[in-house]
Amino acid sequence: MISIKQLSYALAVAKTLHFKKAAEACHVSQSALSTALTELEKQLGIQIFERDNKKVLVTPIGEEVLKRASSIYLQVEELQHLAEAQSQPLSFPISVGIIPTIAPFLLPKILPKMAEQYPNAKLNVIEEQSRVLVEMVRGGEIDTAILALPYPCVGLLSFEFWQEDFYWVALKNTKHAKQKEITNNELNHQNLMLLKEGHCLKDHIVDACQISEQVANHGYGATSLNTLIQMVVGNLGTTLIPEMARDQLISQNGKLSAVHLNEPGPHRRIAFIIRPNYSRMASIEAFTDICKQALGKKP
């Protein structure tokens, strides 16, 4: 009979296209994994993978098998979670994906409160871009993800817990840096540095400031807000950051000013996303409450 373990091995190989890496991810020997997959193919009477010493390919019929295996594996995980759902919130390990423009600023705020209120809680945090996390949630690789909306999450549910605006960051001697508010028309767009393509924060800034694609794409290709801040300190330009990051990025640097962007908001909304049939809602609700407490503000 086909086992869940065999299906998990097959899915791991499909993800890595490498038997050794798949075995390491499954915490088994390569020979044990290979034997289990050979037996699976024998039981099904089909070849799922083509392999040689250099590469692994998924056969056309293998694609269909893996698609169904993924659905079965996800349903089995949900079945296991049903029993867990009857326990106290956050009493079982939970995996959460967080985008890079949220993780370093939210985690220091929520982790102390989680340790205080749920001392036995165990979080497995994955930092990735939104598109990756959406697929990981949809495929059952992680329990939930914290994203900045708007972002397309077709087929998933979202639970908003925070709204925020953007702040323009510049050296204190820069024009407009002493103002409390700044409008899109006052910004020097040619001097504005943004994150590289793939970060949803860039898209949210483009929408909030009504910046053309030509202007938005002239940037330096920074991959983190910390890098952008150091570039501002080096007098390479100015940037925009979310409210959540303002204190951490600006408070330790006396050279910088942070001016509120006076354009219709909120400029982005922060939310948990989950699968519609996710069974551990009590944990998500508890997690959401902790985030609201830590941020001190409700949407």
Give the residue from 84, 106, 130 where a domain finishes.
84
| Whether 31 and 114 share a structural domain | no
Question: How does residue 86 score in pLDDT terms, banded at 50, 70 and 90?
Answer: low
Q: What is the pLDDT of residue 190?
A: 73
Query: For residue 89, is it within any domain?
Result: no
Same domain, 154 and 170: no
Instruction: Determine, yes or no, domain membership for 17.
Output: yes
How many of the other CB atoms lie within 10 Å of CB of 206? 16
Q: Look at residue 298 and tell me whether its pLDDT is greater than 50.
A: no
Residue range 242-266: mean pLDDT, rounded: 89
Give the structural domain span for 154: 94-163+268-295
Statement to judge: residues 190 and 244 lie in one domain: yes
How many structural domains comprise the chain? 3
Looking at the structure, tell me whether residues 158 and 275 fall in a common domain.
yes
> Are residues 170 and 209 part of one domain?
yes
If asked whether residues 192 and 154 sit together in one domain, one would say no
Q: Do 76 and 12 reside in the same domain of the chain? A: yes
Could you tell me what percent of the chain has a pLDDT over 90?
59
Query: b/e map of 138-157 (b: 16 or more CB within 10 Å)?
Result: bebbbbbbbbbbebebeebb
pLDDT at position 75, please? 83
Instruction: Indicate if 24 and 79 belong to the same structural domain.
Output: yes
Query: For the whole model, what pTM was predicted?
Result: 0.71
Average pLDDT over residues 165-187: 92
Please give the mean pLDDT across all residues of the chain. Answer: 88
State the pLDDT at residue 213.
60
The more confident residue out of 288 and 198 is 288
In this structure, the answer to whether residues 108 and 135 fall within a common structural domain is yes
The predicted-structure confidence for 116-156, as pLDDT tens digits, reads as follows 999 888 899 999 999 999 999 998 899 999 999 999 999 99
**CB-hemisphere CA count at 13 Å for 84?**
17
